[in-house]
Structure 1
Amino acid sequence: MQGYYERLAAALLPMLADRALIRDAIISAVFITVLMICRSLMRRAILRRHDLGPEVRRRWVVYLRNTALGVFFLGMIFIWGHEIQTFAVSLVAIAAAIVLATKEMILCMLGSIYRSSSNAFTVGDRVEIGGIRGQVIDMNIVSTTLMESSHALQHQGTVGRSITVPNSLLLNQPVFNESMLGDYVLQTIHIAITRVDDWLKAELVLLEAGQIIAAEYALDLSRHARELERRYALESPMIEPRVRIFLDRYEEIGLQLQIAVPLGQRAKIEQRVLRMFLQGMEK
């Protein structure tokens, strides 16, 4: 009699295992379908919000995609937990090999955790990672996509191509975020004149050009500086343009204009300053 029950159990176990596998597969298919429908509806609702700016809508679309991906992984782990546990036990012998094979992927995920926990940057920020400069247009758990900035001008004018950077770079490369403190950055414009030129006039013309341009957004810049001072407990940032003089070369006099400019307009404002300087020196 005992042998009969053992044979019956041996015959039923594969059937029960197959039924559990089919059940989990059906639940997974329903879960994925519902998740994709919800993500599609929410994405469409975000894109239809014309009261939000393009940067905000793109940021919310990225957040929605990453959240949906996280929910997908959690759901799969919850549904297939028993099978995953059984499979994991069988992989103990080759765990070290798997870690070595996925080392770069693990580093990318750790870089994503580091980015999120330190709030290093977000979508729309202008950053420099490992010598690559650009505006962040997308990011996920393994990579960050930048719209490359011009290296020839060394400013923030984009050159129309995207660069995908692995998040593992965040663990061993410094990240320079020019948007970390808001909508203005400190721009430095260098001009060199000879020793025989009228450097007093050049200094006055350069400073006047900076003051004329800074006056166009002086009120907004002043409010922004007070907000930074209050939020980050910083000393009042430099608002008024100033000119510094350098004598690094015997045959030249270096003039350096420091001026706060709106983020994304560095190259445009520098060209305006240079043109105003040349016109002022010709008078």
Structure 2
Amino acid sequence: MFEQVAAAIQQMNVSMPMLRLLASTLVLIVIVLVLRAILAKLIRSNIQVAELRRRWLVQSRNGLILVLLLGLVLIWGQELRTLALSIVAIAVAFVVATKELILCFMGSLVKGGARSFNIGDRIQVKDFRGDVIDQNLLATTILEVGPGKLTHQRTGRATVIPNSLFVSEPVINESFTEDYVLHVFTVPFKREDKWQLAQEILLENAQAQCEPFLETARRHMRRLGDRRGLDVPLVDPRVSIQVPVAGEIHLVVRYPCRPSERSAIEQAILSETFGKHEFSVKGGSTGEEEPAAPVDTE
């Protein structure tokens, strides 16, 4: 019996601060309501102009609401401070626990806002390179192209890239020019090789491979330049010369093609060039067999 009474008294002592806060809040609300009634009665009895009376009524009501809010903040300040600290701690823990997910959402916003690529484009992010087949708020799926950065064959593997990479890493879009792209590959030679002949033959083969769609590619690039306000380069096949190191000549072949035909046209040009010609100083210039040395039969 006495233990139950002691427990009730202890519980009452614990809840007394809360009761004081509730009582103070109730007193404040009653005071504000009484003041509003008194002010409204004074305004209606002393101000005869309807517009001015309505203005004073609205202003007095808003002023009393502000007083009520300030009073509530003063009464519940300590509890509100404790609640705010708890909310901040929960928010910090939530951000730490979901950091990667938040970065993925941010990456999705970044790539969407910048319009970095679309489904079907060939992109490269860090060491990941391939054709985009799916994208959502968390990840982007590509079909891997490789091996390496110079190969254009699919490996049959799919790579799921978290969108958080798009926040901190640059994206290379190899399909930026849409229906037609400018493909580039390099053919190395030694300085003493017949690279001048190789340059002519590579250009002839590139022109022959691109002839069926060259005019269509020109029109497409012109339309793209007009639509995006870009100075689009000429699409005609060309072979440029580079000297990366002493003793070497690199021929850089560039030609227009559809994105799906890059590898096929490159292989056709290389097969046609090196299958019928020899550019080493030890071989002939056209791939024809050199006459054999006369045999002494005596």
**TM-score (norm: length of structure 1):** 0.64
Aligned to 1:209: 205
Q: Which runs of 5+ in 1 are unaligned?
A: 1-88
1:220 alignment partner, SS class? helix
What is the CA–CA distance in structure 2 between the aligned matches of 1:241 and 1:178, rounded to whole Å? 18
2:260 alignment partner, SS class? coil
What is the CA–CA distance in structure 1 between the aligned matches of 2:109 and 2:206, rounded to whole Å? 42
TM-aligned CA distance change 1:101 to 1:218, over 3 Å: same
1:1-283 residue pairs with structure 2 within 5 A?
Answer: 92=87, 93-152=89-148, 154-281=150-277, 282-283=287-288
TM-aligned CA distance change 1:139 to 1:125, over 3 Å: same
2:188 alignment partner, SS class? strand
Q: Which runs of 5+ in 2 are unaligned?
A: 1-83, 278-286, 289-298
Q: Which amino acid aligns with 2:239?
A: V
Deviation at 1:91, TM superposition (A): 7.2
Deviation at 1:138, TM superposition (A): 0.8
What is the CA–CA distance in structure 2 between the aligned matches of 1:199 and 1:190, rounded to whole Å? 13
Deviation at 1:153, TM superposition (A): 6.8
User: Could you tell me whether the CA contact under 8 Å between 2:177 and 2:221 is conserved in 1?
Assistant: no
Query: How many percent of aligned residue pairs carry the same amino acid?
Result: 35
User: For this pair of structures, how many residues does the alignment match?
Assistant: 196
What is the CA–CA distance in structure 2 between the aligned matches of 1:148 and 1:182, rounded to whole Å? 19
User: Could you tell me whether the CA contact under 8 Å between 1:155 and 1:266 is conserved in 2?
Assistant: no
Deviation at 1:253, TM superposition (A): 2.4
Backbone CA RMSD of aligned residues: 2.2
- CA deviations over 1:132-183 (Å, ceiling 9, x no partner): 0011111111111111111247333211111111100000000011122212
Aligned to 1:55: none
User: Could you tell me whether the CA contact under 8 Å between 1:206 and 1:277 is conserved in 2?
Assistant: yes
- CA deviations over 1:215-264 (Å, ceiling 9, x no partner): 12112202211111211122242211111122333333221211122112
2:175 alignment partner, SS class? coil
TM-aligned CA distance change 1:103 to 1:153, over 3 Å: closer
What is the CA–CA distance in structure 2 between the aligned matches of 1:153 and 1:174, rounded to whole Å? 15
Deviation at 1:187, TM superposition (A): 1.6
What is the CA–CA distance in structure 1 between the aligned matches of 2:232 and 2:171, rounded to whole Å? 24
Of 241-250 and 225-234, more deviation after overlay is shown by: 241-250
**TM-score (norm: length of structure 2):** 0.61
